[in-house]
Amino acid sequence: MGRLTGKTAIVTGASQGIGRGVALALAKEGAAIVAAARTAMKLDTVAREIEESGAPALAVPCDVADRTAVFSLIDDAVKAFGRIDILVNNAQGKTPNRRLQDVPPEDAELAWSTGPMATLHCMQAAFPYLSERGGSIVNFGSNTGVEGSPLFGAYATAKEAIRGLSKVAAREWGRFGIRVNVVCPFAGSPSAVAFNEARPEAAAAILKATPLGRMGDCEDDIGRAVVALVSPDLSYLTGATLMLDGGLCILR
């Protein structure tokens, strides 16, 4: 019996990287997983991995920027498993690195629609079910927003909006037994690996500045931490931001 046996978790952006790692970690603690992402083929592969770990899985192709698709995702989850206990909003569209004065409207719109707006839609769609018996929401921020990293204007703006949204939800929804927390990860996602390969000197400098000296593992470091966040072990934590970055961004 895992800590999450009998629970149902929805994970967006679950087809690869951190989303996949979180989905697998939750599954290994017994949760039924509704894995959502745009790429059906990759999503099916992750669903098979989840089932091989012993947990039930449902793969739902979904563009989280589409509000109608998001509500259908939630409906599919309830039809399949009868309940929703955990919502992990990991999906986020990637935008090119640019100086702030060069950020075009389409970059900002992509970051906004796939980030804070998508997170809001998922939370609103899941609220009626989470409020029935309480539950846990984990939203994903970024140290680029916390620190104001250069070249990340559109992305950092979207990620900080998600943190603001999460704090409001923690205050408003606490009375329903819903906890809302934020994770800011530094892990070996496909985009991070691509950055390391394209800019090895910059990647080495980042690792040198990381007190733990390594990039996090998507499942073992990020996924397992999410398991702890949504489990009874941290049932008194809400409205918090957890910096899962090996100490890269130590808040002052």
Catalytic residue annotation: 155
Q: Which residues of 174-210 are buried (b: 16+ CB within 10 A; e: fewer)?
A: eeeebbbbbbbbbbbbeebeeebeeeeeebeebbeeb
2 CB contacts (<8 Å, ≥6 apart)? 28, 29, 30, 31
CA 59 to chain centre: 16
Q: Does an H or E element contain 189, and which?
A: none
CA 184 to chain centre: 9
Q: Does an H or E element contain 243, and which?
A: strand 241-244
